[in-house]
Amino acid sequence: MAIKTEMLNGIAVVTIDNPPVNALSHGVRIALLDAVQSLDADANVAAIVVHGAGKLFVGGADITEFDRPVEQPGLPEVITAIERAHKPWIAAIHGVALGGGLELALGCHLRIAAPGTTLGLPEAGLGLIPGAGGTQRLPRLIGVEASIPIVTAQERVGVDKALKLGLIDRISTNELITDAVAFAHEAAGAPLPVPASQRAVIAPATEVWHDAEASTKRAAKGAAAQLLALGSLRFGIENGIEAGLANERAVFLKARASRESAALRYLFFAERAAPRPQDLRDIAPRPLRKIGVVGAGTMGVGITAALRNAHLPVVLVERDDASLARGFSNLEKIFGGAAAKGRLTQDEAQERMAGIEGGTDYRALADCDLVIEAVYEDLAVKQAAFAEIARVCRPDAILATNTSYTDPRQISEGIADTSRFVGMHFFSPAHVMKLLEIVPLPETKPDVLSTAFALARKLEKLPVRSGICDGFIGNRILRRYIAEAIALLADGVSISAIDAAMREFGFAMGPFEMQDMAGLDISYMRREAARANGQDIPEMPGDLLVRAGRKGQKTGGGWYDYAVGDRTPRPSDEALRVIAPMLGTPRDMNSREISARLVSTMADEGKSILSEGIASGPEQIDLVEVHGYGFPRWRGGPMFMASGLGKQND
Ligand code: 3H9
């Protein structure tokens, strides 16, 4: 049974019990509608409390139903029936009330919440708008201006603010159900409160709408749902509740069938599946009591910070005191900065630092359960580090390399037992970026791999398994993407047209701006090293720029020029002169054509990655692109786009 009803002292307590998140699935809707009718007719019932079983109230509509036609009754009918009941319905909320869950609570006559509860309308994050009265009842309950960030930016509201806004009527001080039943008794003896939909609302000045539209448009970066949600809110204020509800439903149904929503739902499920791969579910991870990090450069420091944020004790090893001191000072900056921004208290920041033991002697790693190597990206340097690590560590300690492209089989060559070896490719800054490519060797033991995934979950990272190839999943696609951007230059398209097209597509920056930010010298040195090894790598424009001293932002110029202390790219005559031999006859190409060509190249490389078994599914590639390389989330990723999934209704 999706819901059960018990009598407590003349009050009916309706429990929604639909694990894992009490989603308002078809069965729950049928049962709730039945309950409204039968409880209204039952003379022994004075009022009704509705709450959720387990750790939360209701996580929303059932997202798994959105690929199918709507099954009746729809949620709007259920909520309207509750609102029109002759007896008071009290929502007793704990954990979260999200999306349809909050809409259900808004349809009740009163709301009481447990401390620690959060309420929100995250539909836009799924390419949807609230479709069961959220954009209509919310502003009538708490006002238009407070509602705007909730429906557009998906603001989550805690209980104190919710009480202040009038979103809830009470915060429970004892056991939630006991308090809710007491509240229900009070309500049963009083006139029925005016339902949210029937309350008066003050329309804001036109500028409020204009400002909200402008800021929502900026924040949405090309996605549609946030603006649709705002439009629905406005429509209801300007046209009244009945028209507002009808319009909201129509917009919701259209959004539900859109490619944007299909893309965001696809990512929603992929993100939840990724940290727990099917084949590792039954393989217990090893305990991780202490973790070693070798190398206190940018990556080592970021990894240490990520480990400390998850409260794991860290031993940080560097080759000399000066490098170690620099690493510690950068860690202080990270935690001090977080404290200055109010993300950590001073005590927490100190506690983060106190959990790091620094040293220049590898023997400090002797009792670590896992050691992550993050030294300079050079095979010989990494091999030398592992010779030391393997010498001092316990034979059962897991050894991980944070290489971003060097073959982990080569890195591990000198180690006797490589079944305990695994690649863990963090993205910079490692304490911020969620993506983590996990790269096992063919012989890596399943429990070692399972431990790498467990660590990713503990760090709240998004782990994606990659097979071994140059650049793994992400950097391999990046290389193709940049090569194609350079091929467009040879076809006569301008640097700034290419960058502008990719920004318009939804990336924060285009391929040339990105290279200038990252620095052109690293890939130049890699190419040079490969050439020195006899590989036949053709000359690239990036080689010419680096040789002309144009390494990117850090040297004041790369593909673009930069003024001192200013990261704004300015078209550069000098860059054009340097790379002139590689530019085609200038021609115009429209931005859609440019982005289509670059994105289909990414998908093309993705298909090779799949066919070689480097990634286990297209969604793994899309997660890498969205979380590691700034691919616009609402487009789903290059593989999703290439599949044509969700395209039929656009
Ligand atoms: C909506 O409400 C539309 C309405 O306005 C209009 C309707 C007419 N449905 O995240 P977790 C699954 S749109 C189905 O790891 P947590 C999830 O896939 C909805 N399944 O748990 C996972 O499955 P598995 C608006 C759902 O404790 C499992 O539950 N609501 C749903 O870390 C556990 O998920 C939202 O956007 C769902 N609604 O966090 C909220 N939600 O075990 C979306 C989750 O097989 N949900 N699952 O991998 C969340 O934000 C989090 O899940 C929540 C719990 C905070 C609730």
Q: Is the CB of 120 under 6 A from ligand 1?
A: no
- Identify the residue whose C-alpha is closest to ligand 1 atom 51: 59
- What gap in Å lies between CA 211 and CA 208, rounded to an integer? 5
Q: Is the CB of 281 under 6 A from ligand 1?
A: no
Fold for domain 3-257? Answer: 2-enoyl-CoA Hydratase; Chain A, domain 1 (3.90.226)
Q: What confidence score (pLDDT) does residue 649 get? A: 46
Q: Is the CB of 59 under 6 A from ligand 1?
A: yes
DSSP state of 56: -
pLDDT in tens, 150-189: 999 999 999 999 999 999 999 999 999 999 999 999 999 8
- What gap in Å lies between CA 320 and CA 542, rounded to an integer? 34
Q: Is the CB of 134 under 6 A from ligand 1?
A: yes
- Identify the residue whose C-alpha is closest to ligand 1 atom 19: 60
HSE-CB at 394 with a 13 A cutoff on CA atoms is 11
Write out the residue limits of the CATH 3.40.50.720 domain(s) in the chain: 288-471
pLDDT in tens, 475-487: 999 999 999 999 9
**What distance in angstroms lies between residue 269's CA and the mean position of ligand 1's atoms?**
9
**What distance in angstroms lies between residue 20's CA and the mean position of ligand 1's atoms?**
8
**What distance in angstroms lies between residue 60's CA and the mean position of ligand 1's atoms?**
7
Q: Are 467 and 614 in contact (CB under 8 A)?
A: yes
When pLDDT is cut at 50, 70 and 90, the band that residue 646 belongs to is low
Mean pLDDT of the region 258-264:
97
The active-site residue out of 123, 248, 260, 318 is: 123
- What gap in Å lies between CA 255 and CA 240, rounded to an integer? 22
**What distance in angstroms lies between residue 425's CA and the mean position of ligand 1's atoms?**
29
Burial 288-302 (b: 16+ CB within 10 A, else e): bebbbbbbbbebbbb
When pLDDT is cut at 50, 70 and 90, the band that residue 378 belongs to is confident
- Strands 370-373 and 462-465, sheet pairing: unpaired
Q: What confidence score (pLDDT) does residue 377 get? A: 86
Is residue 96 classed exposed, middle or buried when 0-12, 13-18 and 19+ CB atoms within 10 A define those classes?
A: buried
Is residue 630 classed exposed, middle or buried when 0-12, 13-18 and 19+ CB atoms within 10 A define those classes?
A: middle
- What gap in Å lies between CA 269 and CA 254, rounded to an integer? 21
**Number of neighbours of residue 605 by Cβ within 10 angstroms:** 22
Q: What confidence score (pLDDT) does residue 1 get? A: 76
Q: Is the CB of 131 under 6 A from ligand 1?
A: yes
The active-site residue out of 103, 260, 318, 619 is: 103
In the annotation, is 145 catalytic?
no
131 CA closest ligand 1 atom index: 6
In three-state form (DSSP H/G/I as H, E/B as E, the rest C), the secondary structure along 212-277 is HHHHHHHHHCCCCHHHHHHHHHHHHHHHCHHHHHHHHHHHHHHHHCCHHHHHHHHHHHHHHHCCCC
Closest CA to 540 of 579, 595, 498, 584: 579
C-alpha angle 561-565-567 in degrees, rounded to nearest 5: 50
User: Is pLDDT larger for residue 61 or for residue 376?
Assistant: 61
- Identify the residue whose C-alpha is closest to ligand 1 atom 33: 20
Does the pLDDT of residue 363 top 70, yes or no? yes
When pLDDT is cut at 50, 70 and 90, the band that residue 133 belongs to is very high
Closest CA to 526 of 575, 482, 577: 482
Write out the residue limits of the CATH 3.90.226.10 domain(s) in the chain: 3-257
Is the peptide bond between 287 and the residue preceding it cis, with omega within 30 degrees of 0? no
- What gap in Å lies between CA 491 and CA 484, rounded to an integer? 10
Q: What confidence score (pLDDT) does residue 467 get? A: 97
Is residue 322 classed exposed, middle or buried when 0-12, 13-18 and 19+ CB atoms within 10 A define those classes?
A: exposed
Mean pLDDT of the region 508-537:
93
130 CA closest ligand 1 atom index: 5
296: helix, strand or coil: coil
Write out the residue limits of the CATH 1.10.1040.50 domain(s) in the chain: 474-594
**What distance in angstroms lies between residue 267's CA and the mean position of ligand 1's atoms?**
12
- Which CATH architecture describes the domain 474-594? Orthogonal Bundle (1.10)
649: helix, strand or coil: coil
**What distance in angstroms lies between residue 64's CA and the mean position of ligand 1's atoms?**
9
pLDDT in tens, 435-462: 999 999 999 999 999 999 999 999 999 9
Say how many residues make up the chain. Answer: 650
**What distance in angstroms lies between residue 59's CA and the mean position of ligand 1's atoms?**
5
**What distance in angstroms lies between residue 120's CA and the mean position of ligand 1's atoms?**
13
Q: Is the CB of 251 under 6 A from ligand 1?
A: no
Q: Is the CB of 122 under 6 A from ligand 1?
A: yes
CATH H-level, domain 288-471: superfamily: NAD(P)-binding Rossmann-like Domain (3.40.50.720)
Q: Is the CB of 245 under 6 A from ligand 1?
A: no
Q: Is the CB of 157 under 6 A from ligand 1?
A: no
Query: What percentage of the chain exceeds 70 in pLDDT?
Result: 99
User: Residue 316: what residue type?
Assistant: L
Q: What is the pTM of this model?
A: 0.95
- Identify the residue whose C-alpha is closest to ligand 1 atom 24: 272
- Identify the residue whose C-alpha is closest to ligand 1 atom 16: 21
Closest CA to 82 of 172, 3, 10: 3
- Distance between first and last Cα of the chain: 38
Q: Are 591 and 626 in contact (CB under 8 A)?
A: no
Scanning the structure block, which residue is given the tokens 């599949």? 643
Q: Is the CB of 21 under 6 A from ligand 1?
A: yes
- Identify the residue whose C-alpha is closest to ligand 1 atom 18: 269
User: Residue 110: what residue type?
Assistant: L
60 CA closest ligand 1 atom index: 2
Q: Is the CB of 97 under 6 A from ligand 1?
A: no
In the annotation, is 504 catalytic?
no
Does the pLDDT of residue 648 top 60, yes or no? no
Burial 432-468 (b: 16+ CB within 10 A, else e): ebbbbbbbbbeebbebbbbbbbbbbebbebbbbbbeb
- What gap in Å lies between CA 192 and CA 25, rounded to an integer? 28
Q: What confidence score (pLDDT) does residue 405 get? A: 84
pLDDT in tens, 554-586: 999 999 999 998 999 999 999 999 999 999 999
Ligand 1: which of 58, 63, 71, 233 to mutate, most ligand atoms within 8 Å of CB?
63
When pLDDT is cut at 50, 70 and 90, the band that residue 644 belongs to is confident
Residues in CB range of 491: below 8 A, 6 or more apart: 584, 587, 589
| Alpha helix stretches (DSSP H) within 573-637 | 573-579, 591-611, 618-628
Interface ipTM above 0.95: yes
Q: Is the CB of 107 under 6 A from ligand 1?
A: no
Sign of CA dihedral 282, 285, 287, 288: negative
DSSP 464-508: EE--SSTTHHHHHHHHHHHHHHHHHHHTT--HHHHHHHHHHHT-S
Burial 5-37 (b: 16+ CB within 10 A, else e): beeeeebbbbbbebeebbbbbbebbbbbbebbe
Mean pLDDT of the region 275-287:
96
272 CA closest ligand 1 atom index: 48
Residues in CB range of 124: below 8 A, 6 or more apart: 151, 152, 154, 223, 225, 226, 228, 229
- Identify the residue whose C-alpha is closest to ligand 1 atom 28: 20
Helix/strand number for the chain, H first, E second:
26, 19
Q: Are 412 and 385 in contact (CB under 8 A)?
A: no
- What gap in Å lies between CA 193 and CA 270, rounded to an integer? 43
**What distance in angstroms lies between residue 62's CA and the mean position of ligand 1's atoms?**
7
Q: What confidence score (pLDDT) does residue 645 get? A: 67
438: helix, strand or coil: strand
75 CA closest ligand 1 atom index: 8
- What gap in Å lies between CA 236 and CA 445, rounded to an integer? 59
Ligand 1: which of 18, 21, 22 to mutate, most ligand atoms within 8 Å of CB?
21
Mean pLDDT of the region 59-66:
97
Mean pLDDT of the region 322-341:
97
Q: Are 252 and 643 in contact (CB under 8 A)?
A: no
pLDDT in tens, 80-123: 999 999 999 999 999 999 999 999 999 999 999 999 999 999 99
